[in-house]
């Protein structure tokens, strides 16, 4: 391979802005100028894999991406996927103590519960929701329970569907929940745990671009969209929050990340506690 292909091309300001505009138009992520180094490092890996010599060549490839496969690969590369089980535990305390009892009361007749993890990354959040629901509700026999888990990244969804996690990722899962919902998965070079089928069947994973039309017809009792809106500008956040309002059932709950706020965003939610809101 030539030295030219081995070297990493520079990302000019003009090229960065073109990529930034493209990404924002595709999925709403706002790549400000402070992300130049991140974009260059992550996309350089794609350039090397594809044998391309410049970002101009790569942008031409994206513009001519008829089947969308490289566009998906680009968004996979640029998506940030930081998560772990029971991240931001106060949300799961609120889910257990307040939200789940209210959902059970409201659905005593139809016995149908629907929750959505919007931006589920590698699956830890929806599985944490499912474990909390099982633990707080007790016997769910006869209930129609569904947790939708969506993400932009096909790479993360593949990990989530597989449901296999190294032992160090399980440190925040209580021992009782670990034994009930996971089994040791020995077919790896390091100790791993695999999600049991009883938990897995509660969660449905699907790719979804939050900026695109949503195919879901029914309403949700709770929506978790945490540490996602920090990548959007205020107008995009406001549009997304309004769409979450429309997608929630009356009395439904919206959870956002502790680093996020609805300050400056017009909305009709009732504040319950920090980063927890209710559709009244």
Partners of residue 224 on adjacent β-strands: 117, 255
Q: One of 87, 114, 151, 221 is an active-site residue; which one? A: 151
Distances (CA, A) of 102 to 99, 172, 251: 5, 26, 9
* Beta-carbon contacts of residue 33 (< 8 Å; ≥ 6 apart): 13, 16
Q: One of 42, 48, 96, 243 is an active-site residue; which one? A: 42
* Beta-carbon contacts of residue 20 (< 8 Å; ≥ 6 apart): 30, 31, 32, 35, 39
* Beta-carbon contacts of residue 72 (< 8 Å; ≥ 6 apart): 154
CA dist 193 and 186 (Å) reads: 8
Q: For the sheet with 203-207, list strands across it.
A: 203-207, 144-151, 112-118, 220-225, 248-256, 276-278, 270-273
Is 151 designated active site?
yes
First and final CA of the chain: distance in angstroms? 62
Contact 16, 32 (CB under 8 A): no
Retrieve residue 108's tokens: 């005593």
Angle (deg, nearest 10), helices 36-50 and 55-63: 80
Contact 88, 125 (CB under 8 A): no
Partners of residue 189 on adjacent β-strands: none
Retrieve residue 143's tokens: 């209930």
**Residues recognised as catalytic:** 42, 151
């Amino acid at each position: 391979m030539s030295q030219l292909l081995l070297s990493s091309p520079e990302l000019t300001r003009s090229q960065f802005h073109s990529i930034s505009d493209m990404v924002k138009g595709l999925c709403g992520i706002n790549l400000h100028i402070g992300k130049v180094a991140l974009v260059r490092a992550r996309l350089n890996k794609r350039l090397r894999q594809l044998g391309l010599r410049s970002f101009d060549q790569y942008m031409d490839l994206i513009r001519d991406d008829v089947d969308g496969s490289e566009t998906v690969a680009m968004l996979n590369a640029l998506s940030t996927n930081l998560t772990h089980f029971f991240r931001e535990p106060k949300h799961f305390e609120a889910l257990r103590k307040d939200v789940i009892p209210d959902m059970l009361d409201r659905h005593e007749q139809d016995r149908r519960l629907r929750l959505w993890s919007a931006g589920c990354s590698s699956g830890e959040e929806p599985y944490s929701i499912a474990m909390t629901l099982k633990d707080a509700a007790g016997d769910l026999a006869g209930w129609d329970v569904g947790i939708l888990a969506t993400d932009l990244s096909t790479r993360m969804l593949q990990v989530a569907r597989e449901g296999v996690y190294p032992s160090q990722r399980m440190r925040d899962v209580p021992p009782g929940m670990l034994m009930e919902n996971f089994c040791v998965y020995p077919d790896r070079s390091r100790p791993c745990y695999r999600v049991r089928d009883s938990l897995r069947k509660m969660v449905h994973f699907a790719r979804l671009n939050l900026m695109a039309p949503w195919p879901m017809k029914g309403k949700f009792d709770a929506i978790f969209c945490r540490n996602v809106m920090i990548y959007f500008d205020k107008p995009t956040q406001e549009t997304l929050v309004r769409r979450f309002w429309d997608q929630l059932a009356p009395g439904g709950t919206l959870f956002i990340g502790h680093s996020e706020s609805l300050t400056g965003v017009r909305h009709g939610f009732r504040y319950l506690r920090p980063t927890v809101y209710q559709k009244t």
